[in-house]
Amino acid sequence: MTIFLDDIEFANMMCSPKDLDSLAVGFLFAEGLIRGKKDIKKVIADEKDGVVWVELRKPNKPPENLIARRFITTGCGKGLTFVDTEKNNMLLRSKSMFKVRVASIPILMKEFHRKSRLYKLTGGVHSAAICGTRRILVFNEDVGRHSAIDKVVGECILKGIKTNDRIMVTSGRISSEILVKAARSRTPVIISKSAPTDLAVRLATDFGITLVGFARGSRMNIYSNSWRVVTEGHRIGSERA
Amino acid sequence: MTIFLDDIEFANMMCSPKDLDSLAVGFLFAEGLIRGKKDIKKVIADEKDGVVWVELRKPNKPPENLIARRFITTGCGKGLTFVDTEKNNMLLRSKSMFKVRVASIPILMKEFHRKSRLYKLTGGVHSAAICGTRRILVFNEDVGRHSAIDKVVGECILKGIKTNDRIMVTSGRISSEILVKAARSRTPVIISKSAPTDLAVRLATDFGITLVGFARGSRMNIYSNSWRVVTEGHRIGSERA
C-alpha cells in the first residue's frame, strides 16, 4: 500500500489488501500524524491498486517535516527513542480505572480465534481486535501484526468507536512498538496468546497498562497492573469501585 | 542496536542483545552495503551498550548516499520496489544445481528445534540457521525473524563460511523480504515451519529458489523449484547429476 498524505507520498508498506482506509488511518494515528477523526478531511482508498489518499483538515506539516519524520520512524521498532522521553511517558500514561473479569478473557479469546478465518485458511496472518468487557467490537487480519492493529484502531477512528476503556487483543507477540500502539489508542488492557518482550512489560508497567500474555484456554500470564483483572463480585468496565 | 558505518550513525534497531557483530554485518549485507568479508576492514561490537562500529575498506559512500538508502529501505517490507526491476531479477536468480534429500529435511528441522533454547525459555523469539545437506552449520535466535536471519548470514560472512549451495532454515513466516535475504545470500533452498506469503512464492519461482513451508514432522509443502528436493538414489548437494 502507498499512502498519500495531502498529495505527498508518505509511506509504502506490505499488507493484506483489504480495509486499506482503516489501515492508512490507523497507521497515521500510530505515527502521530493525526489525533482522531477530526483531523481527517477525506480518505479515498483504491484497494485494487493499493493506494490510499488522506487529506487532512489542517495541512500544517510541510513536506520536509514529513520526510524527516518518515526517516526517523523507520518501522520495525527503529523509532523507539521517542518513548524514552519523560514528556511522552506522561502523555501515554493511562489513568483509566477500567477493569475486566478474569472469566471474560477466555470467552473473548475464543471469539477472537473463531473470527480468525484468514489465519485458518493460510496460517500466515495475524489478527487484532478492539473489545468491550463482553464482546469483540472491531476485528481484522493482516499479514503484519503491526498492520492488523493499525486496521482495528483505524476502523474505530473512522466509525467513531472510542478505544479508551476497551481491550486490545492481538495474535502476535507484544513488543514495545505494539505496547506503544495500545498506549497511543488509550486501551488500558492488551491481551495476546503470544509472548511479550521484556521492554514491553517495562513500558506497560510505566504506562499503567495491563499486559496479559500467553492467554490460551483458561490460562494466562498477567505481567503488569494486574488490579484491572478482577474476579466475580467486582465491578467491571470503567465504573468506579 | 545502533550501527555506525565509517563513523556515521547508519541504523537503529530492536534486537536480542547477542552476537551484534554478526547482526550488523548480516544487516549491512542484506541492505547491499557490503558484498562480503573483503569489504570489511574492522568490526567492533559493544554488546553492553548495543553499539557496533563497522569500518569499510573502501569508504566510497558519502553520507548523503547512506541517508538516501536508509530512507528508501525503511524496513518492514517497505523497500521492496528494488526487486521488481529486471536487473535485480537477473542478479538474484539462482543457477545452483544444489539438491537435498527429502528425508534430510525432518532431520534438519528436529536439530533446529532442539537448538532453539531461547524460544523454549521465552516463546518470544525466532530462530534461523544455515545448513549443509546433513547438519546445521550456523544457528542463532533473535526477537525479530529478519534479525535472526541477518545474524546467521553475518556469522557466515565473518567466519568465511560460504552460503551458496546451503539451506536456510527459519522459524518465521517467509515473506518477500525474507525470500530476498535468501536470494542475496545465494542459498538456493529456504525452509520454514511456518507459512510463506503469495509474493514470496512468486519471487522464489522467479529467482529459481526452492521454497519449503509448513515443514513439521515428516510433512512439508514445496512451493517452488521442487526438483531440488529428491528421494533416495539421487545425488545430493551440488554434484551435477
Q: What is the pLDDT of residue A159?
A: 97
Asked if pLDDT for residue B100 goes beyond 90, the answer is yes
Q: What is the pLDDT of residue B59?
A: 72
For B19, left (φ over 0), alpha (ψ -120 to 50), or beta?
Answer: left
> Which residues in chain B touch residue A199, judged by CB atoms under 8 angstroms apart?
14
pLDDT in tens, B213-240: 999 999 999 999 999 999 987 777 875 4
Residue A78 has its nearest CB partner, among B13, B196, B197, at B13
Mean pLDDT by 10 residues, chain A (241 residues): 92 92 96 92 95 88 47 37 52 92 97 97 97 97 96 98 97 95 96 96 96 96 97 75 41
> Which residues in chain B touch residue A214, judged by CB atoms under 8 angstroms apart?
123
* Neighbouring-strand partners of residue B212: B191, B222
B76/A71 Cβ within 8 A: no
Q: What is the pLDDT of residue B60?
A: 57
Quick one: which of A73, A89, A90 has its CA closest to A30? A73
Distance from CA of A29 to the nearest CA of B (A): 18
Q: What is the pLDDT of residue B239?
A: 55
* Beta carbons of B139 and B170 less than 8 angstroms apart: no
Least confident piece of the model among B55-64, B72-81, B153-162: B72-81
For A233, left (φ over 0), alpha (ψ -120 to 50), or beta?
Answer: left
Alpha helices in A53-116 (DSSP H): 63-72, 86-92, 104-115
Distance from CA of B171 to the nearest CA of A (A): 12
> Which residues in chain B touch residue A124, judged by CB atoms under 8 angstroms apart?
173, 194-197
Cell of A85: 522521553
- The pLDDT mean for chain B works out to 88
Beta pairing class for B51-56 and B2-5: parallel
* Gyration radius of chain B's alpha carbons: 17
Q: How far apart are CA A95 and CA B95, in angstroms?
A: 60
* Beta carbons of A212 and A225 less than 8 angstroms apart: no
Q: Mean pLDDT throughout B19-36? A: 94
Q: What is the pLDDT of residue B79?
A: 38
Quick one: which of A39, A32, A4 has its CA closest to A20? A4
Residue of A nearest to B77 (CA): A14
The model's pTM is 0.87
**pLDDT more than 90, % of chain B:** 77
Instruction: Give SS3 for B219.
Output: strand
Output the 3-class SS for B62-126. Answer: CHHHHHHHHHHCCCCCCCHHHHHCHHHHHHHCCCCCCEEECCHHHHHHHHHHHHCHHHHHHCCCE
Q: What is the pLDDT of residue B73?
A: 34
Residue B124 has its nearest CB partner, among A70, A76, A195, at A195
Q: Mean pLDDT throughout B155-165? A: 96
Residue A77 has its nearest CB partner, among B13, B81, B214, at B13
Residue B197 has its nearest CB partner, among A71, A75, A124, at A124
Asked if pLDDT for residue B14 goes beyond 90, the answer is no
* Catalytic residue check, B156: no
Residue numbers of A between 190 and 229 with CB closer than 8 Å to B: 194-197, 199, 214
Asked if pLDDT for residue B40 goes beyond 80, the answer is yes
Residue numbers of B between 128 and 147 with CB closer than 8 Å to A: 143-144, 146
